[in-house]
Amino acid sequence: MVKVFAHGQLRLYLLALLEDGPRHGYELITALTDRFGGTYRPSAGTVYPRLARLEEEGLVERSDEGRKATYTLTAAGRAELDERRGELAHLEAEIAETVREHATQVRDDVRAAMRGLRADLASAAQRARDAAASQPGAPDRDRVASHGRRVEAEVMVRRFGDEVRADLRRADAAGGVDALTVETLRTVLDTALRTMRATLR
């Protein structure tokens, strides 16, 4: 992505991130990176000048702790954030769509890579079988296939996490995450974990 935020959007999103509590600049950079599923990471040269401007405008307060500076949302910053909830919801929707587009691209790339990996694994398994007599420690077919399935499963877990985070953050911007959502997610994940573990040996 060449340009992720339009004019003024990063400024607004930094205020939104500080609504949850004080953060260091590095924590804000990390939070932005997580929000985009790792597909975008703002530079310090992008984030810190905007934080300094927000401080000048009285929207955030900076406190120094040793070599680290902590930024806290002020009452004025919270008031501006409240006034711009509509813009924030729209921005969250744009970010969610961007993350989905990248997730789709990653999924397609992973599928293509998995096809190649399966072919490589099949070839490796054949070589392992051929060498089994002279090299007893060579990986067997089941172990090689198991490795491929584990990699595929981990990709699915990461994709699921990215999509859930995107949906939750978009809904949260409009105040749409309620207790039922959290309880449903907890129940589904607990059930999925128990069911998955029952298949492992």
The mean of the pLDDT values for the chain is 81
* pLDDT above 70: residue 161: yes
Has residue 77 got a pLDDT over 90?
A: yes
- Of 159 and 104, the structure prediction assigns the larger pLDDT to 159
- pLDDT at residue 100 above 80? no
More confident residue, 155 or 116: 155
Give the per-residue SS3 of the chain.
CCCCCCCCHHHHHHHHHHCCCCEEHHHHHHHHHHHCCCCCCCCHHHHHHHHHHHHHCCCEEEEEECCEEEEEECHHHHHHHHHCHHHHHHHHHHHHHHHHHHHHHHHHHHHHHHHHHHHHHHHHHHHHHHHCCCCCCCCCHHHHHHHHHHHHHHHHHHHHHHHHHHHHHHHHHCCCCCHHHHHHHHHHHHHHHHHHHHHCC
Residue-wise pLDDT for 24-51, tens only, equals 999 999 988 888 777 778 888 889 999 9
pLDDT at 54: 94
Residue 62 is predicted with a pLDDT of 93
pTM for this predicted structure: 0.50
Would you state the pLDDT for residue 71? 94
